[in-house]
Amino acid sequence: MRQIMKPVIQCAINFSEGRNSKIVKSIVDAAQSVPEAVVADYSADADHNRMVLTILGGPKPIQNAVLAAARTAVELIDLASHKGGHPRIGAVDVVPLVPVQGITMQECVATALNLAQNVAETLSLPVYLYENAALSNKHKQLPNLRRGGFERLMAEGLAGDMAPDLGPHRVHPTAGAVVIGARGPLVAYNVNLDSA
């Protein structure tokens, strides 16, 4: 008998907060409150002032968990006073969806598009779609969107190449903008150097 695999998406959502443990906990708790979404891990880095929250689940639970965590982040994070060593354009900075099992990349793209629409509508955030979900080649690569950071968006506005794919065409004054997409697995690591 052939076993049917339950669809699982991994989302390693990046938030622009790594120093305030109460805010970090509130964001994690919001994601954990969603049934059928599993918070697999989270890590916060004070130097980068950034947190990565890894969530696993099917398309609907992933969307609900991201929305819950994003809503909390938008309420609690103020990018106008944010300082950190990592490029960022949003309080909820990057939301990558990765197919793990029982789901195709195209289905992840559809999930990303639906999530992006919900984020734009419910949180009034400008949304850029990147990687496999990109609607424009100009937005496909994450570094192109992050160049100059939140400060550039505030100074130059959201016109031309930086016009968002969805949501308002103005930068949220405290939460910036968000990048959402679908991509393959990514392995990232930090190396500490002793240069003394």
Q: Which residues are catalytic?
A: 86
The C-alpha atoms of residue 77 and residue 134 are separated, in whole angstroms, by 26
Cα–Cα distance for residue pair 60/107, rounded to 1 Å: 12
What are phi and psi for residue 77, nearest 5 degrees?
-100, 135
Which DSSP string corresponds to 165-194?
SBS-SS-BTTTB-EEEEE------------
* 108: nearest Cα among 82, 78, 129, 136: 129
Q: Which two tokens stand for residue 190?
A: 């930090």
